[in-house]
Amino acid sequence: MYQYDNYDQSMVDARVAEFRDQVQRRLAGELTEDQFKPLRLKNGLYLQLHAYMLRVAVPYGTLSSRQMRMLGDIADKYDRGYGHFTTRQNIQYNWIKLEDAPDILADLASVEMHAIQTSGNCIRNTTSDQFAGAAADELVDPRPYAELLRQWSTFHPEFDYLPRKFKIAIIGSETDRAAMKLHDIGIQMVKNDAGEIGCKFFIGGGMGRTPMIAPVIGDFVPPLQMISYLEAALRVYNRYGRRDNKYKARIKILVHEIGADEYRRQVEEEFAHILTLGLEPPAAELERIKGFFEQPGFDTNASDDLDLSDPDFALWVDQNTHAHKRAGYTIVNISLKPIGGIPGDATADQIRLMADLALDYSFDELRVTHAQNIVLPHVKKADLYTIWQKLDEAGLANANLDLISDIIACPGLDYCALANARSIPVAQKISERFADLGRQRELGELKLKISGCINACGHHHAGHIGILGVDRKGVENYQLSFGGSEGADTSLGTITGPGFNEDGVVDAVEKATDVYLAQRTEGERFLDTYRRIGMAPFKEAIYAKETANG
Amino acid sequence: MKIITGNDLRTGDVIWWTGKGWSRFVNDAVAVGDDAEAIIAQQNATQVVTDTHVIDAETTADGVRPAHIKERVRALGPTVRMDLSLKPGDPAAAKWVI
Ligand code: HEM
Ligand code: SF4
């Protein structure tokens, strides 16, 4: 993992001291709320429905056990004993006091963490593949590039007041596990026929009220020009992005309005200019960073043998582990989606337990996934049974990865000031309806995603089944959509028709799964069946009663 | 009726204007009529409350009930964590919100 040098540490420490002073001045009445609000937002401190909410950055979703333990301790010391892991691979605390915020930031800084770039119209915390450095299908480890991005983007003066927030995701595998094409910029590290590494740039994706899949803008940019290319891409956006209209201010709208070809032309022109300026960080810096991401000391004799005689363990292994690049090792997914639970929430004790497991069994590393789960990236198969037992004791051995109860849900109206409807209770009811694991496995991979408003923090556009909460004359109502996806086959969901109340939408989801079970052919997932047979049969089943009533 | 709500600047707690000061319990809220703007201006100046705003509410047998669900969530707590709400022992509390 990357470790701060003196420069990183002093920058973060200085920021804590600055914020401490700002908070003091606010509490003393020397700053008004209008003056203070942008300052607190720059430090990840929002005001939500019940209290201040602190969003802590987890750069490219990577944590050490020491950092993870601190996240647990903060939940106990300053919050109400839990935290919420988000689709942005971050963690949010819901019950923060303003007077505590500087101390929390100081605690975070003591483990090389902060809440910078988690709000505002800047380049936000970069996200990445949660299996980076571990996955069997990886071509290039994206983490050194993600770290370079972090260093380049943090406090970048030119891009601190963009027309709107800006989210970058970077991956290095063929399989996209980071919803890369639904970001303002998605970067895929690829190899050409000559075996050289390059960056493929997808620019202009996003969710929100106008979801867009990013087109390819740069085919193959040499890694040592990645930053220059980003500078060019952002500069064009900064210059022409729609500052006049918040709803049209994201880069997706600019790329859409002027067209990918014209946007590309302008970026190339700017890129050619920037290359003459020598803005690219020196190659030595990238090499220095790469030094932090060497493979850990894997046991070359580790065995692939596994005793699967315990059936519950066998199910969990089958569902929640993923192929590792090294023999005798595997990737463990810890699901934060217990039946009837709150997606992404973990108690302080659970967080510390996961930290301990990482220290003892995963070379001190954890990852946060955009599906709101936690990953132990480098686990010896020989240790799996012990780990599973410890997880099970803590209520963390849910064997439901990528199944219908592995739901992404935003905080919704239970916590979020922008919400139109609650998301979490819908997730709870659906997971309860499909509580039987055998039934879930029968349904196979089924990604269900719920947002409490059109901002789409819960990725509903990209759900095989998506649910969007809307406000219908003061009453919560839920729109259902099918056919979204966020992998290599990224697509946007289509709305089924009129919305439902909370119980109605749970029933509709169940009816849709019945249609799938009846119509699927060998090997088809829900998404594949939907793509083959289209909306009509689903619609018929879901709205059957209304049709019968005329 | 119109009532005033905001957040305690220091703690972030949701609070309601009682006519004399601020309370964490919506039942203590009083109707402010046409005085809302003046009260808000005066209270903002004290710098102990933030995000002050006027909302619609009605008086029911159960006490003061904000008209919009969002304000009822604020008044009580997250419906999915009633143990953390202002009525942790009351299983019916979540129903009041909805
Ligand atoms: C609770 C406080 C939150 C607020 C106030 C908030 C606000 C917003 C807003 C305004 C947008 C739309 C931006 C646009 O389209 O221009 C948005 C999008 C988004 N937010 Fe949130 N959000 C919150 C929580 C979260 C959480 C908890 C997550 C992760 C689970 C999250 C992840 C996202 C994602 C993935 C998008 C859509 C991607 C995009 O187009 O940017 N947000 N959020
Ligand atoms: S989708 Fe809406 S309700 Fe959900 S967290 Fe985002 S802004 Fe809040």
Q: Mutating which of B80, B87, B97 best tests the A interface, going by the most A Cβ atoms within 10 A?
A: B80
Q: What is the pLDDT of residue A550?
A: 40
* ipTM score of complex: 0.96
Does the pLDDT value for residue A546 go beyond 90?
no
A443-494 pLDDT, tens digit each: 999 999 999 999 999 999 999 999 999 999 989 999 999 999 998 899 999 9
Does the pLDDT value for residue A438 go beyond 50?
yes
First to last CA, chain A: 62
B59's tokens: 């008086």
> C-alpha distances in angstroms, B69 versus A5, A417, A422?
48, 11, 10
Q: What is the pLDDT of residue A456?
A: 97
Nearest CB to B79; choose among A51, A94, A425: A425
Please give the domain boundaries of chain A with CATH numbers for all domains: 6-109 (3.90.480.20), 127-291 (3.30.413.10), 311-393 (3.30.70.3340), 408-548 (3.30.413.10)
Residue B89 lies in a domain: no
Task: Report CB contact under 8 Å: A99, B10.
Answer: yes
A88's tokens: 């942005």
Do B57 and B3 touch, CB atoms closer than 8 A? Answer: yes
pLDDT band at A549 (very low <50, low <70, confident <90, very high): very low
DSSP labels for A160-182?
SS-SS-B-EEEE-BSS--S-GGG
Torsion of CA A382, A384, A385, A391, to 10 degrees: 150
User: What is the nearest CA distance from B63 to chain A, expressed in angstroms?
Assistant: 20
Shortest-distance Cα residue to atom 14 of ligand 1: A208
| Ligand 2 center–CA A208 separation, angstroms | 10
Structural domain harbouring B19:
2-78
Q: What is the pLDDT of residue A474?
A: 87
Q: Where are the alpha helices (DSSP H) in A467-535?
A: 502-519, 526-533
Contact status of B27 with chain A (Cβ, < 8 Å): no
Tell me which chain B residues have a C-beta less than 8 angstroms from the C-beta of A32: 47
Residue B94 lies in a domain: no
- Block residue for tokens 């009083």: B30
Residue B84 lies in a domain: no
- Block residue for tokens 């919704």: A412
Q: Mutating which of B13, B16, B50 best tests the A interface, going by the most A Cβ atoms within 10 A?
A: B50
Per-residue buried b or exposed e for B47-83, using 16+ beta carbons within 10 Å of the residue's own CB:
bbbbebeebebeeeeeebbbeebbbbbbbbbbbbbbe
Tell me which chain A residues have a C-beta less than 8 angstroms from the C-beta of B65: none
Q: Backbone dihedral region of A89: left (phi > 0), alpha (psi from -120 to 50 degrees) or beta?
A: left
d(CA A181, CA A216): 9
Which residue does chain B place closest to A424, by CA atoms? B80
Positions of chain B with pLDDT under 70: none
Task: Report CB contact under 8 Å: A476, B69.
Answer: yes
Q: What is the pLDDT of residue B91?
A: 78
Q: Backbone dihedral region of B32: left (phi > 0), alpha (psi from -120 to 50 degrees) or beta?
A: alpha
- Return the ligand number nearest the Cα of A469: 2
Residue B95 lies in a domain: no
Task: Report CB contact under 8 Å: B9, A98.
Answer: yes
A172-199 pLDDT, tens digit each: 999 999 999 999 999 999 999 999 999 9
Task: Specify the 3-state DSSP secondary structure of A19.
Answer: helix
A385-436 pLDDT, tens digit each: 999 999 999 999 999 999 999 999 999 999 999 999 999 999 999 999 999 9
Task: Report CB contact under 8 Å: A413, B69.
Answer: yes
Contact status of A97 with chain B (Cβ, < 8 Å): yes
| Ligand 1 center–CA A208 separation, angstroms | 8
Chain center to CA of A234 = 22
Contacts of A482 (CB under 8 A, 6+ apart): A464, A465, A466, A493, A494, A496, A512, A530, A535, A538
Contact status of A409 with chain B (Cβ, < 8 Å): no
Does the pLDDT value for residue A547 go beyond 50?
no
A255's tokens: 């790329």
What residues does A127 pair with on adjacent strands?
A: A169
A278-316 pLDDT, tens digit each: 999 999 999 999 999 999 999 999 999 999 999 999 999
Do A361 and A383 touch, CB atoms closer than 8 A? Answer: yes
- Block residue for tokens 């639970």: A341
Which residue does chain B place closest to A80, by CA atoms? B84
Shortest-distance Cα residue to atom 42 of ligand 1: A457
Residue B10's nearest CA partner among B46, B41, B53, B36 is: B46
Q: ∠ CA(A51), CA(A31), CA(A23), 5° rounding?
A: 50
Contacts of A261 (CB under 8 A, 6+ apart): none
A489-517 pLDDT, tens digit each: 999 999 999 999 999 999 999 999 999 99
Residue A56's nearest CA partner among A122, A22, A11, A101 is: A101
A93-142 pLDDT, tens digit each: 999 999 999 999 999 999 999 999 999 999 999 999 999 999 999 999 99
- How many domains does chain B fold into? 1
- Block residue for tokens 């996200």: A127
A335-390 pLDDT, tens digit each: 999 999 999 999 999 999 999 999 999 999 999 999 999 999 999 999 999 999 99
Task: Report CB contact under 8 Å: A99, B77.
Answer: no
| Ligand 1 center–CA A410 separation, angstroms | 9
Residue B71's nearest CA partner among A53, A417, A47 is: A417
A243-264 pLDDT, tens digit each: 999 999 999 999 999 999 999 9
- Block residue for tokens 């929100």: A208
Residue B48 lies in a domain: yes
Tell me which chain A residues have a C-beta less than 8 angstroms from the C-beta of B73: 49, 413-414
- CB atoms inside a 10 Å sphere around CB B38: 10
Ligand 2 binding pocket, CB closer than 6 Å: A 410-412, 416, 418-419, 451-453, 455-458
Q: What is the pLDDT of residue A548?
A: 44
Average pLDDT over residues A151-169: 95
A18-60 pLDDT, tens digit each: 999 999 999 999 999 999 999 999 999 999 999 999 999 999 9
A65-97 pLDDT, tens digit each: 999 999 999 999 999 999 999 999 999 999 999
Residue B86 lies in a domain: no
Residue B28 lies in a domain: yes
Tell me which chain A residues have a C-beta less than 8 angstroms from the C-beta of B88: none
